[in-house]
Structure 1
Amino acid sequence: MKIQNPVLPGFNSDPSMIRVDDTYYIATSTFEWFPGVRIHASQDLVHWNLVTNVLDRVELLDMKGNPSSGGIWAPDLSYHDGKFWLIYTDVKITDGSFKDMKNYLTTAEKIDGPWSDPIFVNGVGFDASLFHDENGKKYLVQQTWDHREYRHPFNGITLTEFDVKTMQLMPATARTIWEGTPVKLVEGPHIYQINGQYYLFAAEGGTIFTHQEVVARSNNLDANSFQTEPDGPFLTNFDTPSTYLQKQGHGSLVNTPGGEWYYASLTARPWNHATESATDPRGWSTLGRETSIQKVEWDAQGWPRVVGGHGGTTFVDAPKDAIETKAPTDHSQHDEFTENHLDLNWNTLRVPFTDKMGSVGQGSLQLIGQGSLANPYDLSLIARRWQAFYFDATTKVKFTPYSYQAMAGLTNYYNHSHWSWIFITKNDAGQSVIEVAENKGGLRNGQYTSYLQDAAIVIPENTEYVWFKSQNRKTYYTYQYSFDGENWFDTGVKLDAAILSDDYVVQEYGGFFTGAYIGLAAVDYAGYHSTATFDFFDYQELGDVQVAPDQYTFAASEERQFD
């Protein structure tokens, strides 16, 4: 078998990978999307299944009002003392000199819970991980935040002993064990105890195209005791601009039962418009930061090296002792809303799906209109990740708006300031109409554009349902509509997909860590709670991601695709 990267396509970043017996688990960041922390499982490192979302209740996570790309940063999953331990960070500020983060700990005997009520740990810095020393001690390892304008904000890696009796940190034991390299922006630390030495893996360079993973080691955990790996970095694509995988870095190490080693890291697959340079801009990562896995070997001096070079490869040999895992061939989804709960693939923003947003079950989803798609407090939206460059998404909606302030439809969404949608609303003549609108950069909360305006499509009288479709074609996407589900009409609006990418958003906003979503939404900012009924949602990938190693297409080769 071959591992084909990325193993977790679409927004699945900052992977924390562990092995418990013969099963591997990966926990990934979720930022402002609820529930928090996705867990995937595999027994071969090739095929992965989404098995649970950990932070699925308000007691564990309440992000109401959090900024876009705040919330859950870089969770750390570990297994020790017969149970799973999860450290997670809730970041309350993304722009400016402060982050105001809170680190929490929750535990469970089984991966699917129940997970314990959270224990507040500290707010020293984000990307915290829990190290279980062979001598029985436990330590919190974390990036350290410094708000002072005359210091670099990423102020080294701090180690603090954790008292398992009180389940609290011992602040007097805190010390900086490594300050990083001149690349700066040191974060995402994990410590491993291997052959009698402590190995520290950490990310640097920022989670953009300068990203990298660096390794340091020490015989002890004293202050400033770690020495950096020579001939590094361990993993980066900064100097491999043409490779299919980019931005690799932040991640974690695991060994197999047979003694092989693998490293899971975030990655991205940018593309370029035909009119752009292949290197500047390096590209647009509309699928966000994904997860890749590289094989690791150890050199004669005991340093880890990525097999194939520090740029990594798209296809990687699976473990010799891999147990083949059954998993879907792609991430297509068809939902007729028959269950009284949302599918694992659905997310809401900041808070769980409640009666205030609507209801689900018995063949329909009801969304009660609340705030606009720019609202970080009250928003009726459910959405799922883009997990392929080419897909179609379709829905069927019934909605009777009373004015232009009431809207419901299908949205492609990145954050509060970067999104578009096709929706039903009412024009000034009192007619129900179809409009297409986009919100994109230029202002703090984006610049809103109505594309059809006075030419909005009038819905025929006595029409009960309208069907909407989004056709996504890597560099662009379009919206279609139908009044019978069979005869489709194009709106004539062609939108640039780059606007829904990390790389576009970073130009204007400090939080750029998620990826594009497709979803369903209802808005009634006048406060009259207009309700939309969705009969189904269908997301069908068009086959560009899953390609056998002996059947290379350009989209799955070692070279980037420049459209």
Structure 2
Amino acid sequence: MTINNPILPGFNPDASFLRVGEDYYIATSTFEWFPGVQLYHSKDLANWELLPHALTRTSQLDLRGNPSSGGIWAPALSYDNGLYYLLFTDVKGRKGVYKDLHNYLVTAESMSGPWSEPIYLNGSGFDPYLFHDTDGTKWVLNMQWDFRDHHARFGGILLQQYDSKEQRLVGPIKKIYEGTDIGVTEGPQVFKRGGYYYLLVAEGGTGINHAATLARSRSLDGPYETDPSYPILTTRGAPDYPLQNAGHGMIIETQTGEWYMTHICSRPFAGTKLNPLGRETSIQRCVWTEDGWLRLAHEGRLPALTVPAPDLAKHPFPETPVKDEFDAPVLGHQYQTLRAPAEELWLSLSERPGFLRLRGRESLHSWHQQSMVARRLQHFNCTVETCMEYAPEHFMQMAGLVFYYDELDYFYLRVTRDDENGLKLGVVSSMSGKYQEDLASELHVEDWAAYYLKATVRKRALQFYASPDGEQWKAVGEVLDMGVLSDEYGGKLGFTGTMIGLCAQDINGTKKQADFDYFSYQID
């Protein structure tokens, strides 16, 4: 059996990789989307199921007001003596010279939760990781952020002891590794093998210079010797390779003694840096050299598109149904909401059984109170569809289907009411913050009892459609460029990916409701 990369397609970056017995887990960053931290489970490394998110309460995570591509960065899983540990960074401010952030620790007896209330650790830098040494001590590592003029922003990897009884960091802080000439050293992971402490770090940033570098030491606090053949993994210098931006690795050993590394990657459109699916998670098989360094099993540094599966029984999971009829009492794990939790204040699956009811709140540009339920775009060719019942009273009320990167970049097929022309259905867009309404293609829909809304993605081409009955469809607007919904479009350097959302706005504050009968996501 072989494993096809990526194993977690779509917006699934910064994978933290953990094995406990015969079970494998991955945690990925969720940034401004609630609930926080996606968790996946596997038995064979090829098939993965999405578990409940880790941070489900605002007492654990309050994202309202967090900037886009802020929030949850680089969660880190570990396990010791019957308890799962999860460290994460909540980034409150990310642009400019400063980074306002908070590092926290939560625990659970099961990966499915419930997870504890958070313990504050520090704010010296992001990407915290908890290492459980064999002598029973626990240590937190994170990168050092240095805002000072004439200093490198990425100031190396810090180490400090964690006291589980006092639930705080104690003792001196020591810088144990400053990285290589690749620069931008972050994302530390420590593991032990053959009398060495191995330190795996991400380097080069999240773009074309991204890499994974290994170092080792006889002592946890160093000094660390860098692998003379660093980095282990990178796509630097190979701009045409299908998997780009490879780095930020995490390593595990299977119960059968095989070694694998998860890592970030991206699949941009040919000749560009643009990928609306965002940063994804792939996996590589690794082997050890006689002198104790880790290498990709297929040799070289480029990530393989397919890798041999471990010597484990195949273990598939049930697939998520194509169509969600909204019959369940709670939202499926595939959905997230934007910054604010799914509360009865604005969302209900019970008031009208079989429908998702959204009460309109703030605009698509808000960092606080949006009414949006969304799932990841995970394929370059797919069709999404919904049916909405909605009766807006004026232009401040609107609802529909949105392809959303952030408040600066989105495409929105929405129904609203115009003072002069009555009910209308059309496309609005924002590209690098420039708002536009496609007035020429708007449909007048006064006689529609319901609004069937559809979109097709064909690699870089997005086309919206609408229908009054779900049978006779009419294209709405021009073909749109999915490249707009990418991390590096317009030089913005974000970290997420395209989310497909059902949403409603009522900027007047009267919470006009929209009812959605179903939502389907079909791979084409």
| TM-score bracket for this pair, using the shorter chain length | over 0.9
C-alpha contact 1:405 1:524 (8 A) present in aligned 2: yes
Structure 1 position 297 matched with structure 2 position 287: yes
Residues 13-36 of structure 1: per-residue CA shift (max 9 Å, x gap): 111111111111001111111111
Structure 1 position 202 matched with structure 2 position 187: no
Q: Name the TM-score, length of structure 1 as normaliser.
A: 0.91
> Equivalents in 2 of 1:181, 1:15: separation in Å?
22
Q: Name the TM-score, length of structure 2 as normaliser.
A: 0.97
C-alpha contact 2:467 2:473 (8 A) present in aligned 1: yes
> Equivalents in 1 of 2:113, 2:316: separation in Å?
22
Q: In the TM superposition, what are the counterparts of 1:176-325 in structure 2 within 5 Å?
A: 176-222=175-221, 225-272=223-270, 278=271, 281=272, 283-308=273-298, 309-320=300-311, 322-325=312-315
1:525 to 503, 507, 518: 507
Which amino acid letter does the alignment assign opposite residue 459 of structure 1? V
How much has 1:285 moved relative to structure 2?
A: 1.4
Structure 1 position 365 matched with structure 2 position 363: no
Which amino acid letter does the alignment assign opposite residue 264 of structure 1? T
Question: Could you tell me which residue of structure 2 aligns to residue 458 of structure 1?
Answer: 444
**Partner of 2:483: helix, strand, or coil?**
helix
**Partner of 2:349: helix, strand, or coil?**
strand
Residues 135-163 of structure 1: per-residue CA shift (max 9 Å, x gap): 11110011111111221111100000111
> Equivalents in 2 of 1:307, 1:244: separation in Å?
19
C-alpha contact 1:332 1:540 (8 A) present in aligned 2: no
Residues 407-435 of structure 1: per-residue CA shift (max 9 Å, x gap): 10000000111101101011231510001
Residues 370-408 of structure 1: per-residue CA shift (max 9 Å, x gap): 111111111000100001011100001111111111110
Question: Could you tell me which residue of structure 1 aligns to residue 162 of structure 2?
Answer: 162
How much has 1:520 moved relative to structure 2?
A: 0.4
Q: In the TM superposition, what are the counterparts of 1:428-443 in structure 2 within 5 Å?
A: 428-441=419-432
Q: Which moved more, 1:530-539 or 1:348-357?
A: 348-357
Q: In the TM superposition, what are the counterparts of 1:331-350 in structure 2 within 5 Å?
A: 333-350=322-339
Residues 330-368 of structure 1: per-residue CA shift (max 9 Å, x gap): x66311111221110011011211122221231001111
**Structure 2 alignment gaps of length 5 or more:** none
Question: Could you tell me which residue of structure 1 aligns to residue 382 of structure 2?
Answer: 391
Structure 1 position 378 matched with structure 2 position 369: yes
> Equivalents in 1 of 2:477, 2:429: separation in Å?
14
Which amino acid letter does the alignment assign opposite residue 227 of structure 1? E
Specify whether residues 198 and 146 from structure 1 end up closer, same or farther in structure 2 by C-alpha distance, changes over 3 A only: same
Question: Could you tell me which residue of structure 1 aligns to residue 42 of structure 2?
Answer: 42
**Partner of 1:53: helix, strand, or coil?**
coil
**Partner of 2:361: helix, strand, or coil?**
coil
Residues 263-311 of structure 1: per-residue CA shift (max 9 Å, x gap): 0011111113xxxxx3xx4x31111011000011111210101122210
> Equivalents in 2 of 1:378, 1:51: separation in Å?
26
> Equivalents in 2 of 1:428, 1:117: separation in Å?
49
Question: Could you tell me which residue of structure 2 aligns to residue 546 of structure 1?
Answer: none
**Partner of 1:210: helix, strand, or coil?**
coil
> Equivalents in 2 of 1:425, 1:493: separation in Å?
19
Question: Could you tell me which residue of structure 1 aligns to residue 25 of structure 2?
Answer: 25
Q: In the TM superposition, what are the counterparts of 1:398-409 in structure 2 within 5 Å?
A: 398-409=389-400
Question: Could you tell me which residue of structure 2 aligns to residue 491 of structure 1?
Answer: 476
Q: In the TM superposition, what are the counterparts of 1:118-197 in structure 2 within 5 Å?
A: 118-170=118-170, 172-197=171-196
> Equivalents in 1 of 2:258, 2:17: separation in Å?
14
> Equivalents in 1 of 2:110, 2:263: separation in Å?
24
> Equivalents in 1 of 2:477, 2:144: separation in Å?
50
C-alpha contact 1:332 1:541 (8 A) present in aligned 2: no
Which amino acid letter does the alignment assign opposite residue 452 of structure 1? L
Question: Could you tell me which residue of structure 2 aligns to residue 475 of structure 1?
Answer: 460
Stretches of 4+ moved more than 6 A in 1?
none
> Equivalents in 2 of 1:118, 1:312: separation in Å?
35
Which amino acid letter does the alignment assign opposite residue 22 of structure 2? D
**Partner of 1:498: helix, strand, or coil?**
helix
Which amino acid letter does the alignment assign opposite residue 332 of structure 2? D
C-alpha contact 1:162 1:169 (8 A) present in aligned 2: yes
Which amino acid letter does the alignment assign opposite residue 434 of structure 1? L
**Partner of 1:52: helix, strand, or coil?**
coil
Question: Could you tell me which residue of structure 2 aligns to residue 538 of structure 1?
Answer: 520
Q: In the TM superposition, what are the counterparts of 1:100-111 in structure 2 within 5 Å?
A: 100-111=100-111
**Partner of 2:484: helix, strand, or coil?**
helix
Which amino acid letter does the alignment assign opposite residue 385 of structure 2? T
C-alpha contact 1:403 1:430 (8 A) present in aligned 2: no
Which amino acid letter does the alignment assign opposite residue 14 of structure 1? D
**Partner of 1:54: helix, strand, or coil?**
coil
Q: Which moved more, 1:335-344 or 1:259-268?
A: 335-344
Which amino acid letter does the alignment assign opposite residue 344 of structure 2? D
How much has 1:92 moved relative to structure 2?
A: 0.5
Question: Could you tell me which residue of structure 2 aligns to residue 447 of structure 1?
Answer: 434
